[in-house]
Every structure is written in structure tokens, then in C-alpha cells.
Copies of this chain bind each other. A is one copy, B any other.
Amino acid sequence: MTHEKLTMAQALNRALRDAMAEDPSVLMFGEDVGPLGGVFRITDGLTAEFGEERCFDTPLAESGIVGLAVGMAMNGMRPVVEMQFDAFAYPAFEQVVSHVAKLRNRTRGAVTVPMVIRVPYAGGIGGVEHHCDSSESYYAHTPGLHVLAPANAADAYGLLREAIASPDPVVFLEPKKLYWSKEEVDLAAPVPGIGKAAVVREGTDATLIAYGPSVPTALEAAEVAAQDGRSLQVVDVRSIVPFDDATVCEAVRSTGRAVVVAEAVGFASVSSEIVARVTERCFHSLAAPIRRVTGFDIPFPPPKLEHFQLPGVDRILDAVDDLQWEDS
């Protein structure tokens, strides 16, 4: 019996525990991930279960954390590190871009850095500045990294296990606002795998393309639209890099209309990429240009204003309404 009701936070914790139990080279470290169990409790109990040498607190320095992980990965370990919040990963940017992403390539595959950088990310929790950034575009633009963003507990478990097992470095983006949503999870279910998107709701009129924190919002929008007689398909990208062109394009071709939904600032982002690549591939199947519903091109707002920034059901449905239904 492997079905259990778990929050995403619990599913992530379970993934770490199972991976650490299976493979002694898997280590977990970062700020406050030891006795405290992480500020979001994702690492709860790991130090108690596996000891201080397998799950430990580091000095407070993100470049140090990632750089240490690089060296450990070079020397036989599979480190998983936690960046405490999205914006606090920026001090590690040079290590990520110039080393994590490049070491395999630099050495023609001689040196590999199998490691996972876990980042609690994005908004929707009323967090103050620097605690709500959607930073996926920085990583997705950097070749050599895999970039994953689960949208539910089952994927969180499966994708984190895959990420830890991967021979390549993975930036693993955990939507903070979904940490506490509970669902039935089958831990033994086979995982579609890195690089696979999923059609999470069938529909015929238009396709919503989303990932991470925006998937539940897209599903909610589809539900509302259904009541208005419009059938919206929802695709969960899951794996931002590598991107699943096949699944996404097939979906868009089937409806001829699409809206990309993402919390991040829109300019030069993953959502720009999705619009560009899907348009390049599906141009003649499109009845209307693909619309984007994203964060505005502004710093993430303070708590009292964040609802304006987050793509909501209304904005999504407005964009769907704009898909030139009369012309078609």
C-alpha cells in the first residue's frame, strides 16, 4: 500500500529520505536544514535519521554552499543543497553558471557534478521582498542545468527522486505556496521522467500552458471556463529544461489557441520562450497569437499588493477571451 495523503512538503521530505536511505553518497546541506529541518521543514528529521554527516547546516554563505557541493560532487558524492529562498540563491550565481552548469562540458564529460539545488520559490504566501522571486528564467537560460518545477505532491516526490538520481545538475524549484496542499500520492508510481510535460486536463477550445505555482491556477481557470461552456486543455510543463516540445506542441495543435501562464516577470523569460518555440513550430495551426499571462515587468510587490502580480483566474480568462474567437 503506497498510496498516502501527503502535502508537497511531506512528499519532498520523503523523497530526500528515500534517496538518502538508498544511496549513502546522497547528502543534504544548507542553511538551517539540520536540527531545525529547514525553514519550510522540508528536511525535517533527516539529521536525526541519517546523522550530522549526511544532513548538516553550513555557515551562512550561498556561494560557499554551492561551491562546496561542486567539490563534493566531483569527489563521489551526490549533494542536495537548499537555498533558503529564491532571492538568496543569487550570491551563488557565479558558482551555478560558471561551474555547476559547465564542468561536464569543460572536461568533455570527465568531471560530472550530479547535484540538486533546491529552491523554495515564487510568491503567493504574503512574503516580504526577496522572498518571492520567480527565478526560473535565469537558470533556464543557462545551458548545462536541468530545471524542474513540480506542481503537485506526486510530481514533487517523483521529480526530486529523478533529480537526485540524475547524472546532471538540477535546479529544483519548489513552489512555496503549494508546500501545504495535501493530496493522495502513490510513491511507487512510475515517474514520467525529466523532460516530460503532462496534459493534466483535457480540453478542445484552447490550451493553457503552465508550470509550478501556476498549474493549480490554470486548472481553476479551466474549471471556471467549463462552466461558461469553454473547454480548456491544461498542460503542466513540469520540466522547463529539457522542454517537452512534443507534448506541448501536440496539445496546442489540437486546440489551435494557447495561453502561457507563469508568475515570473514576463520579459525575456521562460514564458517568452514557450511562446516563441511553440509559435515557430505550430504557426499554421494557430488561430490567434499565443497570449501570455505573467507577472508584470516589476520587482515582486509587497504582500498587500502581490495579488495584482500573480496570474489569477480572471486574467487568464481575459487572455482566453482575447484569442480571437470571432475570427476563427
Q: Assess whether A5 is interfacial by the CB under 8 Å rule.
A: no
A141/B292 in contact, CB under 8 A? no
A97–B141 CA distance with the chains assembled, in angstroms: 16
Binds B, one of A218-226, A247-255, A265-273: A265-273
* Residue numbers in B under 8 Å from A102 (CB-CB): 129, 299
**Contacting residues of chain A (93-117) with chain B, CB-CB under 8 angstroms:** 93-94, 97-98, 101-102, 105-106
Chain B residue with Cβ nearest A327: B284
* Residue numbers in B under 8 Å from A277 (CB-CB): 272
A288/B299 in contact, CB under 8 A? no
A143-B299 contact in complex given A94-B90, A268-B137, C-beta closer than 8 Å: yes
Determine how close the nearest CB of chain B comes to the CB of A174; give it in whole angstroms.
19
Chain B residue with Cβ nearest A94: B90
A141–B105 CA distance with the chains assembled, in angstroms: 26
Among B87, B90, B276, contact of A276 (Cβ-Cβ < 8 Å): B276
A265/B98 in contact, CB under 8 A? no
* Residue numbers in B under 8 Å from A288 (CB-CB): 283
A130-B268 contact in complex given A144-B299, A289-B280, A298-B143, C-beta closer than 8 Å: no
Determine how close the nearest CB of chain B comes to the CB of A64; give it in whole angstroms.
13
The size bracket of the interface on A is: 35 or more
B265/A268 in contact, CB under 8 A? no
Q: Assess whether A19 is interfacial by the CB under 8 Å rule.
A: no
Determine how close the nearest CB of chain B comes to the CB of A99; give it in whole angstroms.
10
* Residue numbers in B under 8 Å from A142 (CB-CB): 265
**Contacting residues of chain A (257-309) with chain B, CB-CB under 8 angstroms:** 265, 267-273, 275-277, 279-281, 283, 286, 288-292, 297-299
**Contacting residues of chain A (150-203) with chain B, CB-CB under 8 angstroms:** none
Q: Assess whether A310 is interfacial by the CB under 8 Å rule.
A: no
* Residue numbers in B under 8 Å from A101 (CB-CB): 299
Determine how close the nearest CB of chain B comes to the CB of A58; give it in whole angstroms.
17
* Residue numbers in B under 8 Å from A98 (CB-CB): 87, 90, 130
Determine how close the nearest CB of chain B comes to the CB of A112; give it in whole angstroms.
14
**Can you name 18 A-B pairs with beta carbons within 8 Å?**
A87-B98, A90-B93, A91-B94, A137-B137, A137-B141, A138-B141, A141-B141, A141-B265, A142-B265, A143-B267, A268-B273, A272-B276, A275-B280, A276-B276, A276-B279, A279-B279, A283-B286, A283-B289
